Homo-oligomer: A and B are copies of this chain.
Amino acid sequence: MVGGGMGAFIGGVHRMAAALDGEIELVCGAFSSDPDKSKTSGANFGIQPDRCYGTFQDMIRREKRLRPDKRMQVVSIVTPNHMHYPPAKMALENGFHVICDKPLAFNMKEALALEKLVEKTGLIFALTHNYTGYPMVKQARQMIRHGELGKIRKVVVEYPQGWLSTHVEASGQKQAAWRTDPKRSGIAGAMGDIGTHAENLTEYITDLKITELCADISIFVPGRQLDDDGNVLLHFEHGAKGILHASQISAGEENNLNIRVYGEKGGLEWRQMEPNTLLVKWLDKPTQVYRTGVGALYPEAQAHTRIPAGHPEGYLEAFANIYRNVALCIRARMEGEKPNPLYTDFPTVQDGVRGMRFIERVIASGKSKSKWVGF
């Protein structure tokens, strides 16, 4: 693991997600840019002292020297955006698979370089757009792929949060500080941090690519340097249209990612904060409440469910689905087998490139006076 020392938010999430299914063991790490902190954190996580490294370079170099059956197999990168590319690149170049937090990189150039490197090395690269790990998201995708809603006409995707409603980064809050800092976050704030999740979820569920967009990007909190709110009109392939909005100043909202998709025959609605429910709406028939684990769901939804219906599965379980699938793919590869296609579904470097393009285009559109910007 690179990053994710004690006190970090997303590092802990990755560790719990990795541990849940007993498929992955945390064996080493460069948990902090400060070597002492890295060691203390590692000790706390139960890592052998000699595998708590001071830098990711050190980690990759020294792990590579270990016997193949002893060394780490996949590098998990949980640092701020500007520190995704260097360790990802080095890991790939040294033959390690990578699991990387989103967005993929600091900028488009890095993203494209990683894409090439993954193609060249043939290694596994997973991006933790974790919301696609929910069983009901997979059910939604399959229902649309199987034509149950008919041709898709309209999509509304929202990601409102309220936690940056005040100038909290000025107080030194760590999560806020780097996310609002162009040097660590890149050209976008909210649009990169959560807008890309919305974009990824939309393309995943609908299987439609965004073709152009029109964005109204704002900074509401005085003193802030990056966008904390964005409203975007979307055009998709095949004539579908949509709206995406993401916000970190929607006071009182927690993490209210949600999506509605309307086709010629029906519509569906999914809300991350109640992720085990998928509403499916029909023309002139009662709405159906699809639920994790209930009834004849698509195999893709069932394969990502762990416990019987009515026992809520949450964020960590969805996150863990990515780790579990990566682990199964790595194992299949080690054993020279084809992985079970039900478990090969996780976001890839290509999804990451889409996300970086979204950031680039949405920020460009925000500055543009013409209506539509191509994607």
Please give the residue numbers on chain A whose beta carbons come within 8 Å of chain B beta carbons, in ascending order: 9, 12-13, 15-16, 19-22, 26, 45-46, 149, 153-154, 156, 158, 160-163, 165-166, 214, 216, 218, 220, 229, 231, 233, 235, 241-243, 245, 247, 249-256, 260, 262-267, 272-276, 279-291, 293-296, 306-317, 368-372
Contacts and interface: CB of A to CB of B under 8 A. Distances in A.
Nearest to A268: B252
Nearest to A373: B371
18 contacts: A12-B306, A22-B26, A154-B247, A231-B243, A243-B245, A251-B264, A251-B266, A251-B283, A252-B266, A252-B281, A253-B267, A253-B281, A254-B294, A255-B309, A286-B291, A288-B288, A314-B316, A369-B371
A16 B306 contact: yes
B22 A20 contact: no
Q: Could you say which of A15, A165, A276 has the most chain B C-beta atoms within 10 Å of its C-beta?
A: A165
Nearest to A312: B314
B9 A15 contact: no
A154 B250 contact: yes
Given A22-B19, A369-B371, A252 B267 contact: yes
Contacts of A21: 16, 19
A276 B254 CA distance: 12
Contacts of A307: 9, 12-13, 315-316
Nearest 4 CB-CB pairs, A to B? A252-B281, A255-B310, A254-B310, A312-B314
A9 B308 contact: yes
Given A229-B241, A249-B262, A371-B368, A289 B291 contact: no
Contacts of A317: 314, 316
Contacts of A370: 369-371
A311 B22 CA distance: 22
